[in-house]
Chain A
């Protein structure tokens, strides 16, 4: 119980101030960005023919960008409310 309250307090602290929230946001995006980069490295290293690999990489990149942009805009809107 104490642990749960501590976690809630930590979450509140991290999200109370916009700049801390932004740091958390960048951390989340950064972690997934690095993991995606490792995945793309695997494809680059072991990709055999590149027939439909490259379009799929582009699709992933576009979707990733869309999610990041939408979440960033949501964050800004939340800040202004």
Chain B
């Protein structure tokens, strides 16, 4: 059973669904009409035969069929009709499943196209929104225009085939949403992947400052309100939860890590005093609570991982200075330490 809210393999636990789209219901009408017609077809045939005063059992007067015993003929008709109607019913179930399980999902980071092919085949296509180059919506024909559905084509970077979403309701809105999500994702700083996909270097260079600020904001503002630290190393960010508010214990742990030579940055947030966001300023200020704040020396050398690499200053671990820092919009430059 699918975990509730988890729809495709690449979906992260915190990744919310922005759009959950099925094909427009109009595309289902021809299939339903076919099923209904096939259901009543035998009775239409019987009616016309009766109009011509021809009995259904007259078919058994034909050559070869007259070899069938009289006793069996009624049974055969019953079995054939049973088989016929059950086939139509099963066909109805199959197309219903095909309609119901064909899903297009748009999250803030991914596009997913889930296709149910027949009863036992399933195809899931995923695409990162970072790879989006262009989004086109198309509405062709009378029915698509009247019922407001069409095709959305998402052109992607690299050699990957374009992402095609057919018979989507309100394709213009869907295309706008996908484009907006792509732009938001790029601004949030997913450049490592973007670098690999050929996004312009000048675009990345100009936003490194924003990237550091975004990282700070993302970690600090989104931490749950318990005492937690993030340790960033070459290949991962590990979350360390401290069950105690004992600052000494926390400091010891940080010192241990520094002594081992781990390239870490520790960001600790307290639950006591939430961060204040002043108007027109983005701050990482922690008001006089004794918590350690950020010490980041941004290093944008790509290490091959998806994260930036930061270095911790040992002096920060050993020092006891009151730590508060304020970062204003536009102040941070490449490589600049945030001075405590």
Q: Which residues of A contact B (CB under 8 A)?
A: 4-5, 8-9, 11-12, 15-16, 18, 21, 24-25, 28-29, 32, 35-36, 38-39, 42-49, 53, 56, 60, 63-64, 67-68, 71, 74-75, 78-79, 81
Contact = CB atoms under 8 A, between A and B. Distances in A.
Prevailing SS type, chain A contact patch: helix
Contacts of B101: 42-43, 46-47
11 contacts: A11-B72, A12-B67, A12-B72, A21-B75, A32-B89, A36-B90, A39-B90, A43-B100, A47-B2, A67-B82, A71-B82
Contact of B96 (A4, A24, A56, A75): A56
Contact of B64 (A8, A36, A44, A47): A8
Q: Which of B7, B75, B103, B116 has the most CB of A within 10 A?
A: B75
A44 B93 CA distance: 14
Nearest to B94: A39
Contact of A15 (B76, B87, B90): B76
B37 to A, nearest CB: 16
B25 to A, nearest CB: 10
Interface in B63-93: 64-65, 67-69, 71-72, 74-79, 81-83, 85-87, 89-90, 92-93
B16 interface: no
B245 interface: no
Interface in B14-44: 20
B48 interface: no
A6 B87 CA distance: 25
B78 A67 contact: no
Contacts of A5: 64, 67
Given A38-B119, A39-B119, A78-B75, A48 B20 contact: yes
Contacts of B79: 15, 21, 24-25, 28, 71, 75
Given A16-B71, A47-B2, A75-B79, 19 more contacts: A8-B64, A15-B75, A25-B79, A28-B79, A28-B82, A29-B82, A38-B120, A39-B93, A39-B97, A39-B119, A42-B97, A45-B1, A45-B2, A48-B20, A56-B100, A60-B92, A67-B89, A68-B82, A78-B78
